[in-house]
Structure 1
């Protein structure tokens, strides 16, 4: 049983760069899209840190994939309106993480990858697949939405390049297998295909791309005619906007490049050819939406979307900690009775290795420790040789009542006069050998020497300790910390530069330099950053 069909369907993809993007209210943001399916990437949240307000949103059902390798890394999530509840949902691309009986299936030929490689590809929380039903022009149809966050090929880690290639291979294998089963397919998410091997793979995944395309250009697919050769998927944005320039979806926050719209387009909605040509209405980007270094991309389809009567088991609503079935801490704790008779029953029920005093102290530590201190002072008046114990020390310890008393510093006695300042050196409890000065004596000798220097230089000493100590500290820190160097003026704008530090591993790691303070932009933009650059000398 399902709800009534809708006339149109809207889907959104957005790299949110951390779930903190939703700090002002997740439902407000989701509602602002007016979309049926919202796919987000780079959530940077693990299963144990997912809270209820993020997972359970009124009017929506959500599906998360978490990184199992480290916290604050990767992660994707798909939010569906309750009127667009999927019939199936699956985490990952391999099927190894799918719930039994509710897998979408269609995995294709994975023989080239070992079981360990397959598991590693899914352990970073990079994919969620949801299966939807809609009323097509010729009857009921299926639609699989593959929400992915592709891995980055770190140039300093060769193994990550191989990992990225394997992820591409697995993604294409799965998407084409689902497509071959008769279902429509949308692949959406974030990836920088401008670097190899991403560009090479994308060229054969999509329809043919122009060979003379410059690196960094947004003119990705000039056209996609109905008689398409090459890959089985289409860049939907370029299908509707083949000639639009400066259509960026990601900008560097470090250089303020969004102010000059100097970015890249690395957020995509790829659809199979038939879905795009038959049902696609419009596709566009939303650069006005802030909160991340990426902006959302949306697509609208003329699909009469249906809704499942129940959420798949992968839905966050079905997670034990959000259903009230999780074990509470109180179940593991036993409340101690208020008053227990020691003379009867208690001594028999607890182990014989505990005497009465230890039992009472375990039951009520605060009260019993005080009474036991009194008892020791009363009963142990003499030791084995008949000497009296030092009862006064025991009472003194009891009277303090707090461990903080043992950590209070001893006050330093200061004595001032009209013409000099002397510090009374506290008695040292450390025994020093002949001719060896303790640390404290060295410090006070240094202070006295500074005082003599100030007096010999005709420095005023009428204020006593304040000027002496301040002068000593100020002189010391000025000799150690020089402060930041004065910024030079850039040559193009004659404006103060900003200080930066090299954070990339290499011979210049940690070095500082000055650059123009304006945001990064195209070289032809006079309002953008100029090419001024100068290293900061280490001695300054």
Structure 2
């Protein structure tokens, strides 16, 4: 049983069907699909060998959204979106249930949460529970590149929740029902990160955090877990996939549950596309109207001329041969207007040279011809003088300083945090952040930019 989780940061711009298929997971859980139902296209919803289950954000377009792709050999018995059961469709079956105690939340709060498209629950024949996703919290200091103060790190609400949710070896009895599969097999592996900042290029130096987890219930993990890995070599997002392999196998259901995208009208074949009502017709061939409104007189036979005064669209962009000879061309209304006759060879060049000589105060040659070298020299000289003039008026920004350690041009940044320096600009090393011992990482160069710097 091969399980994967991946925050794709946009399904349409992310891995695509080929990328999902290359992962080879039996169940692939995706986060931040950022696609709504009206924008979901068939190649993304119908991946060969998989059936998919989506939960869309109902409040904002291009925000959140999750999806679960299950191989045909891992078809679930039931599938449901949300965590509260409020989005289940009554009478259609497929609900998973087992929502726990929801008394601490109002129905409005639960509906608002599930409307963001945060969860899909699939029920398979393994009788155990596995949680996959972007938890958005690094559990231990070893899971963060800059943990800071250890006491303040532990007091974060998300980490305190994980402390009580996860079981650790040699921990207090009765603590946690789930196991972090990666840390079970790699308890002390450092720099095992799954998310990096793109704007600073931190993935190059592996300066990130571990936010993506596969959590299995204790009995399943201790008995069946065979492998747990992070796949930083897979591109396409600011996150990378995480993998867990279990010795258990799936027992597929005979039919996909109602939430499966195969049952959506736009993908089930009951809703036809507009292209099916249009027929490609060769030029000059007969054309027949199809549809409910078709009747007699709806066909245009071969060779039939359009009514007088009616022109086809191409006639507005195609000049007749006679118009090229006489100098007439149709205007936007299809009417002809007189154009100057086509210049004889060299005539336009002579006219330009004549004007240039007159403006420069030079005497025009008697035969009206100007040497080609003279014309090119005037053009180059005019362009060079114009460029020099604009450089004196707009000198442009000053070149950035070079950092002391790498002797490379620095990057210009702006202070975004609230305070007295908000909006000020400064120079720092342009290399990505990283460990001090990493030569690929940035140095500690810092310099305020002058007020005149753009």
Cα 1:17/1:509, change in 2 over 3 Å? farther
For 2:427 and 2:201, locate their aligned partners in 1 and report how far apart those are by CA, in whole Å. Answer: 16
- Displacement after TM superposition at 1:62 (Å): 1.2
TM-score under structure 2 length normalisation: 0.71
Stretches of structure 1 that go unaligned for 5 or more consecutive residues are 1-8, 135-141, 153-191, 208-222, 341-363, 371-398, 407-412, 423-460
Cα 1:327/1:244, change in 2 over 3 Å? same
* Structure whose CA Rg is larger: 1
**1:531 matches 2:438:** no
- Displacement after TM superposition at 1:256 (Å): 2.3
For 2:378 and 2:294, locate their aligned partners in 1 and report how far apart those are by CA, in whole Å. Answer: 57
1:319 alignment partner in structure 2? 264
**1:498 matches 2:410:** yes
1:53 alignment partner in structure 2? 43
Aligned pair partner of 1:42 in 19, 22, 32: 32
Conservation of the 8 A alpha-carbon contact between 1:131 and 1:145: no
2:4 alignment partner in structure 1? 12
Aligned pair partner of 1:514 in 427, 433, 444: 427
Find the residue that maps to 2:2 and give its secondary structure: strand
2:326 alignment partner in structure 1? none
Conservation of the 8 A alpha-carbon contact between 1:42 and 1:149: no
**1:296 matches 2:203:** no
Conservation of the 8 A alpha-carbon contact between 2:135 and 2:213: no
2:359 alignment partner in structure 1? 420
- Displacement after TM superposition at 1:401 (Å): 4.9
Cα 1:54/1:328, change in 2 over 3 Å? closer
Conservation of the 8 A alpha-carbon contact between 1:249 and 1:264: yes
RMSD: 4.1
For 1:13 and 1:231, locate their aligned partners in 2 and report how far apart those are by CA, in whole Å. Answer: 22
For 2:123 and 2:360, locate their aligned partners in 1 and report how far apart those are by CA, in whole Å. Answer: 82
For 1:481 and 1:23, locate their aligned partners in 2 and report how far apart those are by CA, in whole Å. Answer: 46
For 1:195 and 1:13, locate their aligned partners in 2 and report how far apart those are by CA, in whole Å. Answer: 27
**1:402 matches 2:314:** no
For 1:200 and 1:254, locate their aligned partners in 2 and report how far apart those are by CA, in whole Å. Answer: 30
- Displacement after TM superposition at 1:88 (Å): 0.8
For 1:70 and 1:290, locate their aligned partners in 2 and report how far apart those are by CA, in whole Å. Answer: 27
1:241 alignment partner in structure 2? 186
2:81 alignment partner in structure 1? 91
**1:30 matches 2:23:** yes
1:281 alignment partner in structure 2? 226
2:161 alignment partner in structure 1? 201
Deviations 1:56-78 (A, max 9, x none): 11111111111222222212111
For 2:269 and 2:415, locate their aligned partners in 1 and report how far apart those are by CA, in whole Å. Answer: 46
- Displacement after TM superposition at 1:91 (Å): 0.7
The structure that is helix-richer by fraction is: 1
Aligned pair partner of 1:120 in 109, 112, 119: 112
Aligned pair partner of 1:107 in 99, 102, 106: 99
